[in-house]
């Protein structure tokens, strides 16, 4: 069970409004109490924070906003002392434009070795005034930015899949590979147990950098499905060599050190490429995250996931929320199409009723935590936090918001600092009241302290499920579908636990058995809509 800490928003020990590493260390016992096995920390490296730390200017130092290297060492030691493993986020696709290598590249002429570490090209048109191709940044706008050369003239263009401030490395360049091997060693030597690899499907680009037929609709496609066009910067075969080298490097270290791929690839059949025996250990199952609240669709995704990960002997993974998507306590009740990372806001039509949405989220988590494999939790979901929808425009910080002139709200709504206490400035996030994103007024209702004291709270549901999951060893079980009596009820067995999830609208009668857990308190031996139950039969 891996718990994602997004350090900016977890807990702020120095009161500057941005969470930090000492804040994480202070609260490790709360995570032990929750019942997790490992913590994955989103980036805390030195960074100008133009994409919340996913824009790294020094991979071997801690940004002062988050603390110091000593704070990182202390956190690793304190986690290990509690039996928790620590995974950190490595961001190899791009650096910050403040990285010394990129600054050197800007100061060097076209064709120089410094430029060859990134992807610089001449523009098209008589004066090179058009970008080298038609690729669109994931955050909106062109994927190319033109530089001004040292002599003051407009010059080459550089590629950035994300923001202008995140130039992509050229991973065919041995300098880049060597640098990252050094970075991995640096953190492995400090005791980290592994890495979540950011944009693990994007490092290699098609060598010709060809135009895309429909640049506005690239999705995450690998081109393997008939309805998905191939995208020349996702899932190129050559990317796998990198991870084979990294795996070999990790295996020279004592203990079990792991690699986890953040690879948004479709269709899911391709995901197994990232977790072959000599590559990464796990990959996020974003197909599961993206599956609609529908019995048929969930059954299909669960089956596909087990088959696909199982085909290469890797554990299946499950995830419902992270720092890039609308929190599942809101998302699962949304109607309409909401592409990942686009966010929702005050003008989004048909916003769901938060109480009904939370009910559904609790059922979804109750189902997920019964499935064999590794589950990933995102900080705050154990509090049932909804997406913060009413963030004012001038508070928003996601580059997506700026690059699309507010057309896409972006991801700030899932990144608001956590409420720890129902009273006090910033609800216990710190003791000054400063907060890099404003916390909604009603967040006192979600505070950890009051939830801990309330038997039926979402926090206590998570605690109960996580402890039971460990005790019953469900993570190492398997899925057997029960004969479906009701079309909208998913019924599966893992070990001797029968898990039933009602995705329909009618209450159904439960089979005989002892109720070990239910997503909401049950009044009789029946399962209402949007409810899940674990039964020992
Ligand atoms: C991270 C995002 C980040 C992007 C660029 C990802 O997929 O999870 O938060 O903005 O990579 O690094």
DSSP string for 108-168: S-TT-TTGGGB-EEPPBSTTS-B-SS--B-TTSSBSEEEEEPTTSSEEEEEE-SS-TT-PB
Give yes or no for residue 496 having a pLDDT over 60.
Answer: yes
Degrees, nearest 5: CA angle 222-235-147: 110
Q: What's the CA-to-centroid distance between 53 and ligand 1, angstroms?
A: 9
Which of ligand 1's atoms lies nearest the C-alpha of 54? 12
Average pLDDT value for residue range 218-243:
75
Task: Give the integer Cα–Cα distance in Å for 178 and 197.
Answer: 16
pLDDT tens for each residue of 402-460: 999 999 999 999 999 999 999 999 999 999 999 999 999 999 999 999 999 999 999 99
Percentages of the chain per state (helix, strand, coil), in multiples of 5: 30, 15, 50
Residue 339, pLDDT score: 84
Give yes or no for residue 226 having a pLDDT over 80.
Answer: no
Degrees, nearest 5: CA angle 92-97-103: 110
Q: What's the CA-to-centroid distance between 199 and ligand 1, angstroms?
A: 7
Q: Is 71 in the pocket of ligand 1 (CB under 6 A)?
A: no
Q: What's the CA-to-centroid distance between 246 and ligand 1, angstroms?
A: 20
Average pLDDT value for residue range 126-141:
95
Task: Give the integer Cα–Cα distance in Å for 120 and 107.
Answer: 13
pTM value is: 0.97
| 8 A C-beta contact, residue 347 and residue 406 | no
Share of the chain above pLDDT 90, in %: 93
Interhelix angle 458-472/354-368, nearest 10 degrees: 10
Residue 223, pLDDT score: 47
Task: Give the integer Cα–Cα distance in Å for 226 and 217.
Answer: 14
Residue 222, pLDDT score: 47
- Label residue 219 by pLDDT band (50, 70, 90): low
Among 134, 129, 126, which residue's Cα sits nearest to residue 159? 134
Bridge pairing between strands 282-283 and 144-148: unpaired
* Residue to substitute in 5, 87, 203, 324 for testing ligand 1 pocket (most ligand atoms within 8 angstroms of CB): 324
- What is the DSSP code (8-state) at residue 315? P
Among 425, 430, 338, which residue's Cα sits nearest to residue 389? 338
Give yes or no for residue 233 having a pLDDT over 60.
Answer: yes
Question: How many angstroms separate the Cα of 75 from the Cα of each of 118, 260, 469?
Answer: 33, 21, 26
Give yes or no for residue 250 having a pLDDT over 90.
Answer: yes
Q: What's the CA-to-centroid distance between 74 and ligand 1, angstroms?
A: 26
The alpha carbons of the chain give a radius of gyration, in whole angstroms, of 23
* Residue to substitute in 9, 196, 198 for testing ligand 1 pocket (most ligand atoms within 8 angstroms of CB): 198
Average pLDDT value for residue range 329-354:
92
Q: Which two tokens stand for residue 498?
A: 């029968």
pLDDT tens for each residue of 27-40: 999 999 999 999 99
| 8 A C-beta contact, residue 267 and residue 228 | yes
Residue 462, pLDDT score: 99
Among 211, 197, 181, 379, which residue's Cα sits nearest to residue 281? 197
Residue 485, pLDDT score: 80
Residue found under tokens 């090209």: 121
Give yes or no for residue 508 having a pLDDT over 80.
Answer: yes
Give yes or no for residue 25 having a pLDDT over 90.
Answer: yes
* Residue to substitute in 8, 97, 162 for testing ligand 1 pocket (most ligand atoms within 8 angstroms of CB): 162
- Label residue 260 by pLDDT band (50, 70, 90): very high
pLDDT tens for each residue of 40-73: 999 999 999 999 999 999 999 999 999 999 999 9
- Label residue 214 by pLDDT band (50, 70, 90): confident
Q: What's the CA-to-centroid distance between 514 and ligand 1, angstroms?
A: 43
Average pLDDT value for residue range 233-258:
97
- Label residue 228 by pLDDT band (50, 70, 90): low
pLDDT tens for each residue of 363-376: 999 999 999 999 99
Residue 464, pLDDT score: 98
Q: Can you spell out the DSSP letters for 228-244?
A: S---TTSS-TTHHHHHH
Task: For residue 64, report the phi and psi dihedrals to the nearest 5 degrees.
Answer: -55, -25
- Label residue 220 by pLDDT band (50, 70, 90): low
| 8 A C-beta contact, residue 31 and residue 54 | no
Average pLDDT value for residue range 98-116:
98
Residue 266, pLDDT score: 77
Give yes or no for residue 221 having a pLDDT over 60.
Answer: no
What is the residue-averaged pLDDT of the chain? Answer: 95
Which of ligand 1's atoms lies nearest the C-alpha of 323? 9
Task: Give the integer Cα–Cα distance in Å for 362 and 456.
Answer: 11
Q: Is 162 in the pocket of ligand 1 (CB under 6 A)?
A: yes
Give yes or no for residue 227 having a pLDDT over 60.
Answer: no
């Amino acid at each position: 069970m891996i718990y994602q800490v997004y350090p900016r928003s977890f807990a702020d020990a120095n009161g500057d409004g941005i969470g930090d590493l000492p804040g994480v260390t202070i609260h490790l016992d709360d995570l032990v109490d929750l019942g997790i096995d490992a913590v994955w920390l989103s980036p805390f490296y030195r960074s100008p924070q133009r994409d919340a730390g996913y824009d790294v200017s020094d991979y071997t130092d801690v940004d002062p906003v988050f603390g110091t290297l000593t704070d990182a060492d202390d956190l690793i030691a304190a986690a290990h002392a509690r039996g928790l493993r620590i995974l950190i986020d490595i961001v190899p696709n791009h650096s910050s434009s403040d990285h010394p290598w990129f600054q050197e590249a800007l100061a060097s002429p076209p064709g120089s070795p410094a430029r060859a570490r990134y992807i610089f090209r001449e523009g098209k048109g008589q004066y090179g005034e058009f970008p080298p191709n038609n690729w669109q940044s994931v955050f909106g706008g062109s994927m190319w930015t033109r530089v001004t050369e040292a002599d003051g003239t407009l010059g080459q263009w550089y590629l950035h899949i994300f923001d202008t401030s995140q130039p992509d490395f050229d991973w065919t360049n041995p300098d880049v590979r060597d640098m990252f091997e050094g970075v991995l060693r640096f953190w492995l030597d400090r005791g980290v147990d592994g890495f979540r690899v950011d944009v693990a499907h994007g490092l290699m680009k098609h060598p010709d950098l060809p135009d895309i037929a429909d640049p506005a609709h690239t999705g995450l496609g690998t081109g393997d499905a008939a309805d998905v066009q191939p995208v020349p910067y996702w899932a190129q075969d050559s990317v796998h060599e990198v991870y084979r080298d990294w795996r070999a490097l990790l295996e020279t270290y004592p203990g079990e050190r792991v690699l986890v791929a953040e690879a948004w690839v479709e269709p899911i059949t391709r995901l197994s490429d990232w977790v072959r025996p000599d590559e990464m250990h796990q990959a996020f199952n974003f197909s599961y995250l993206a599956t609609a609240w529908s019995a048929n669709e969930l059954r299909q995704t669960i089956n596909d996931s087990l088959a696909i990960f199982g085909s290469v002997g890797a554990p299946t993974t499950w995830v419902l929320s992270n720092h890039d998507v609308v929190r599942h306590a809101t998302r699962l009740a949304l109607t309409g199409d909401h592409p990942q990372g686009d966010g929702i806001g005050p003008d989004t039509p048909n916003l769901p009723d938060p109480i009904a949405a939370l009910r559904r989220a609790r059922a979804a988590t109750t189902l997920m935590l019964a499935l064999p494999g590794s589950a990933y939790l995102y900080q705050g979901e154990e509090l049932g936090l909804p997406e913060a929808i009413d963030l004012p425009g001038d508070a928003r910080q996601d580059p997506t918001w700026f690059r699309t002139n507010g057309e896409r709200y972006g991801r700030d709504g899932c990144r608001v600092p956590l409420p720890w206490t129902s009273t006090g400035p910033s609800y216990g996030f710190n003791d000054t009241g400063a907060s890099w994103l404003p916390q909604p007024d009603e967040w006192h209702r979600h505070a950890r302290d009051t939830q801990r004291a309330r038997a039926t709270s979402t926090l206590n549901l998570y605690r109960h499920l996580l402890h039971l999951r460990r005790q019953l060893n469900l993570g190492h079980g398997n899925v057997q579908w029960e004969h479906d009596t009701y079309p909208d009820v998913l019924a599966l067995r893992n070990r001797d636990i029968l898990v039933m999830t009602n995705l329909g609208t009618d209450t159904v009668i439960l089979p005989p058995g002892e109720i070990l857990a239910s997503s909401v308190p049950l009044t009789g031996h029946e399962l209402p809509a949007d409810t899940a139950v674990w039964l020992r039969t």
